[in-house]
Chains A and B, each alone.
Chain A
Amino acid sequence: MTAPDEPLAPDPEPLVFRLEPTEPLQPPATPEPPVAPEALAPPEPPAAPVLDDAADAEVVTGDASPTLASKQKRTAPWPALLTAVSLMVIAALVVVVPLQASSTFVTDVTQLTAFCLVFAGLWLLTHRMGLLSVGHGALTGVGAYAALHAVNDFGLPPMLMPLAGFAAGCAVGALLGVPALRLPKAYLALLTLSAAVAFPIVLRQLDGPLPVTLDSEFIPPTWTGIASNDEHIWEFWVVVAWVAVAFWMLHRLLTGPIGRALVATRDEPTAAAAFGVSVYRLRLAGVSLSSGLAGLAGGLMLVPVNFNDQSLYPEELSIKLFALTIAFGSTAIGGSRLIMTVPAAAVLVLLPVWLVDRPGWVTQGGWIGFLKSEFFLYAVLLLVAAYARSRRSQAVRVYDA
């Protein structure tokens, strides 16, 4: 009989499980017993801010050896130089575009930038965790409500109001996640859709039928050299700064052990639990974080818009967000990369502006108007993206079999 304090002999083969049908694994050189989730992989050096989903093409092992980590680096789709150049181009655009473009366009792009955060939250939930939310529009509204009242009623500095939105989003996300995550995935969709339908009613009850204005303005500091009537430029930079920080932190989080554990809960929850991962708690934290990102975006929406109203967050917004997340996060368009949140946000914000959904198009524009209507396009997008995604998952199942 083995003595109680005698260490257990290591398994002859390390416990290895595959998340995606990728290239064959290289077995680690020195097998170790399963460890805590925080130690699923050794701490990585600071990664270049590449906004891609390396985990979709990677392998999670109980012992992520340096050999495997370096192999992942070598096979990264974006070389570091290209990433650096892209970031410099983006930074240049962030500086130059608001100085040259019209205020209306800059306001649209500011909203677009904030919506990137909502899509990042949905991307985390849908593509990294395999969960479904049809209520992120409402969660954005929750963040906007909390941020506005944090400034108006509690005197929070307006620069910090997105934090109030983040906290409110996390809290509501946890409230929905606590019961839903113990049940099949459909329940989270059910609860979030209910929240999406209920939120405008709640907001009208809380704030009344009229819009509530933010009791503060974003006056550009003098050191920026921006004229006081060009506040849209300053607002854009404020939002970009918040979004950049949030994206950087999210990227760091997801490329670390927690990110890998989240993927494990999606693909192999039983094996993840065997490794010591608390699947329920990790999923709850993920849902809460995803909702918090939506709430943060809601707080940022107040920067260019300066008011909150029930009509800004109808349930259709949540469905549009879900549709674009499915479409722009699947292999149908662009692959599952965090950077795909940018075109998704661009479609959401600019489609009604540039395209077709003028008043009366649907009802009076005949069949052409019907085909060009915004909701019709979203419906087609959803159906096509859903079909493409189901084909992909069938292919994965066949491969695994």
Chain B
Amino acid sequence: MTLFLQRVFDSFANGSAYAALAVAISMVFRSTGVLNLAQGQMAMLSAYIAVVFAAGADPTVAFSGWLTPFATPWPIWAAVAGAVVVSAAAGALLEYTVIRPMRGDPVPTIGATLGLYLLIGVFVAKHFGGRQRFLGSPFPQEHTDRFIIGGARLWFDTIGLTLVMLAAIGVLALVQRTTKVGLAFRAITSNRDSSALVGIRVEWVVMGGWAVAAALGGLAGGLIAGELNVRPDMMERLLIFGLAAATLGGLRSPALALAGGYLFAFAETMMAGYIGFIDSQVTLVWALGMLIVVLSLRPSGLLSRKAGRGALQT
């Protein structure tokens, strides 16, 4: 029982990151119909930006010169916050310069997101040498910083990461439900053309959606960096799990995407822990298998009432 409980606790950190990426992917897909395959790379870049802020003028961290503008290293929480702001600005800029000109056409839009995927990867390789970096966690990480529950250890770091991600997603949901901006966002996800007719500035709202999604992904990247270290491929697995989690809600339900993130992390941890021939790498394959099963049984998402027999959908 203790071991089971420990594995449940261990799945919280990954689950938070999967959930954040899944919610970000769902937000973008709801508002624009675009599947942003570069979401993971954007989060990875955000983690590197946090490293830049946190490293300051540390001579052991050899970045390109113009990427170390601050002589004094920032606290990690401030570095992550700074990276989130930069990510939000970059997300809005990318929507304006790259995605908007595609006008929602699916083939070029997905091509553009893959172009961003490669571009961010090569940018990181150029400026950070493709090497692994250490950022650390904004939460206490000493060996005594933990609770013991039923014999299992629940680290402060895991609690902090989970609570911050849940709080961020909760605030986002609250804003969507209670503010005019949120109402406008929900309106354009329901009917874009009618929203424009009633005076909603659709392009601004969509740009804001991209900014918030990028910020959420950036927050996930900055916080999970304390667990994974920062490296160019740190988000590949997270992206696949995030995509899989987002499909649980038919790519349109942030709540189900959130639940899916924790569900997939739980399943991953349990499979790696209890099934002998599945190591931590192969769990990715099982995530793909679960994805295929979910899409086969409930094509429009777990809670959708659509039968999903729409072979004519485009």
A344: B residues at CB distance < 8 A: none
Contact with A along B106-129 (1 / 0, CB 8 A): 111111101111110111011001
A401 to B: closest C-beta gap in Å: 14
The complex places the Cα of A204 from the Cα of B285 at a distance, in Å, of 12
- Which of chain A's residues has its CB closest to B282's CB? A205
Q: Does A142 contact B (CB under 8 A)?
A: no
The complex places the Cα of A176 from the Cα of B243 at a distance, in Å, of 15
A367 to B: closest C-beta gap in Å: 8
Q: Does B105 contact A (CB under 8 A)?
A: yes
- Which of chain A's residues has its CB closest to B246's CB? A190
> Is the pair A186, B311 in contact by a Cβ cutoff of 8 Å?
no
- Which of chain B's residues has its CB closest to A278's CB? B311
**Which of A134, A187, A362 is the one whose CB lies under 8 Å from B114?**
A134
The complex places the Cα of A201 from the Cα of B110 at a distance, in Å, of 24
> Is the pair A362, B118 in contact by a Cβ cutoff of 8 Å?
no
Q: Does B300 contact A (CB under 8 A)?
A: yes
> Is the pair A383, B37 in contact by a Cβ cutoff of 8 Å?
no
Q: A190-B247, A201-B282 are in contact. Are A179 and B292 (CB under 8 A)?
A: yes
Q: Does A363 contact B (CB under 8 A)?
A: yes
A393: B residues at CB distance < 8 A: 103, 105, 108
> Is the pair B251, A186 in contact by a Cβ cutoff of 8 Å?
yes
B29: A residues at CB distance < 8 A: 186
Q: Does A358 contact B (CB under 8 A)?
A: no
> Is the pair A362, B125 in contact by a Cβ cutoff of 8 Å?
yes
Q: Does B310 contact A (CB under 8 A)?
A: yes
B89: A residues at CB distance < 8 A: none
**Which of B117, B288, B295 is the one whose CB lies under 8 Å from A180?**
B295
Q: Does A184 contact B (CB under 8 A)?
A: yes
Q: Does A275 contact B (CB under 8 A)?
A: no
- Which of chain B's residues has its CB closest to A391's CB? B101
B312: A residues at CB distance < 8 A: 269-270, 273, 279
From residue 76 to 92 of chain B, which have CB atoms closer than 8 A to chain A?
Answer: none
* Interface of chain B: mostly helix, strand, loop or mixed: helix
Contact with B along A372-401 (1 / 0, CB 8 A): 010110111111011101100110000000
B107 to A: closest C-beta gap in Å: 6
A396 to B: closest C-beta gap in Å: 10
Q: Does B102 contact A (CB under 8 A)?
A: yes
> Is the pair A189, B130 in contact by a Cβ cutoff of 8 Å?
no
B237: A residues at CB distance < 8 A: 197
> Is the pair B288, A362 in contact by a Cβ cutoff of 8 Å?
no
A349: B residues at CB distance < 8 A: none
Q: Does B314 contact A (CB under 8 A)?
A: yes
A393 to B: closest C-beta gap in Å: 5
> Is the pair B281, A319 in contact by a Cβ cutoff of 8 Å?
no
From residue 121 to 180 of chain A, which have CB atoms closer than 8 A to chain B?
Answer: 126, 130, 132, 134, 175-176, 178-180
B130: A residues at CB distance < 8 A: 363
> Is the pair A132, B105 in contact by a Cβ cutoff of 8 Å?
no
The complex places the Cα of A176 from the Cα of B289 at a distance, in Å, of 10
B288 to A: closest C-beta gap in Å: 5
> Is the pair B296, A178 in contact by a Cβ cutoff of 8 Å?
yes
B245 to A: closest C-beta gap in Å: 12
Q: Does B224 contact A (CB under 8 A)?
A: no
> Is the pair B108, A198 in contact by a Cβ cutoff of 8 Å?
no
> Is the pair B311, A279 in contact by a Cβ cutoff of 8 Å?
yes
Q: Does A82 contact B (CB under 8 A)?
A: no
> Is the pair A380, B313 in contact by a Cβ cutoff of 8 Å?
no
B285: A residues at CB distance < 8 A: 198, 201-202, 205
A248: B residues at CB distance < 8 A: none
Q: A375-B121, A390-B103 are in contact. Are A382 and B111 (CB under 8 A)?
A: yes
The complex places the Cα of A363 from the Cα of B309 at a distance, in Å, of 49
- Which of chain B's residues has its CB closest to A273's CB? B312
> Is the pair B314, A389 in contact by a Cβ cutoff of 8 Å?
no
> Is the pair A386, B35 in contact by a Cβ cutoff of 8 Å?
no
A383: B residues at CB distance < 8 A: 98, 111-112, 115-116, 119
5 contacts between A and B (CB under 8 A): A185-B106, A201-B284, A279-B311, A379-B117, A386-B102
